[in-house]
Amino acid sequence: MQTHEHGNLRLTKIGPLGPYDNNAYIIADRQSNEALIVDMPYGSEPLIEAARGFQVRAILLTHTHPDHWAEYDKVKEALDAPVLCHPAEVIMPAAKIDEPLADQQKIEVGGLAVTPLHTPGHTPGSTCFVVGRYLLSGDVLFPGGPGRTQTPVDLQQTLSSIRDRLLTLPGDTVVLPGHGADTTIGDAKREYEAFVARPHAPDLCGDVTWTD
């Protein structure tokens, strides 16, 4: 468990969880004691326990690959909060999404504002979340590379999402991904620029790193 604090914001990273080493997050306003949850993977018991002291207003999904919502029923029952997801996601049954998540809509939790950024490529509805100087990047951006893609078209879309939606954030923005360690936008931008400066095979996709 790792906690970042800035003003009234308390952002808790809980992980690695489950067989895929997922991270889940609690975005909390320390003054109001309200919170949002981001993702609910396998092994979410520590997430549930850490969230019990807060008034959880919603559960946000970065995307609907099963490892990110594997314990939907357990988490939703324990925290009694609506689930929000971008409508372009089709892997999860539509009945499980309580409210659609729109690009750049303002999600308020206490005195904090969380901004969703639609960043397709890894999945059609992949969404990152910005709160203060932090970016919760789901499986779109990791230290050392983009998230896994199924086709070259998906990779190009992911690279466009990263370039146009994420690398425009301040360089000191802390990137908190859906798996693994953190990075910063500054580091990611330098790695990305070195990557795009080199030629690549037209069929490149899959587990791509910035050093490929």
CB 12 within 8 A of CB 25: yes
pLDDT at 85: 97
Q: What digits encode the pLDDT tens for the residues 70-93?
A: 999 999 999 999 999 999 998 999
* Residue 174: Cβ within 10 Å count: 16
Q: Which amino acid appears at position 6 of this protein?
A: H
Q: How far apart are CA 152 and CA 206, in angstroms?
A: 8
CB 136 within 8 A of CB 174: no
Q: 197 pLDDT exceeds 90?
A: yes
Confidence of residue 112 (pLDDT cuts 50, 70, 90): very high
Strand, helix or coil for residue 79: helix
Q: What digits encode the pLDDT tens for the residues 14-35?
A: 999 999 999 999 999 999 999 9
The pTM of the full predicted model, rounded to 2 decimals, is 0.96
CB 185 within 8 A of CB 175: yes
- Where are the domains positioned within the chain? 2-196
Nearest Cα to 162, choosing from 203, 121, 101?
A: 121
CATH number of 2-196: 3.60.15.10
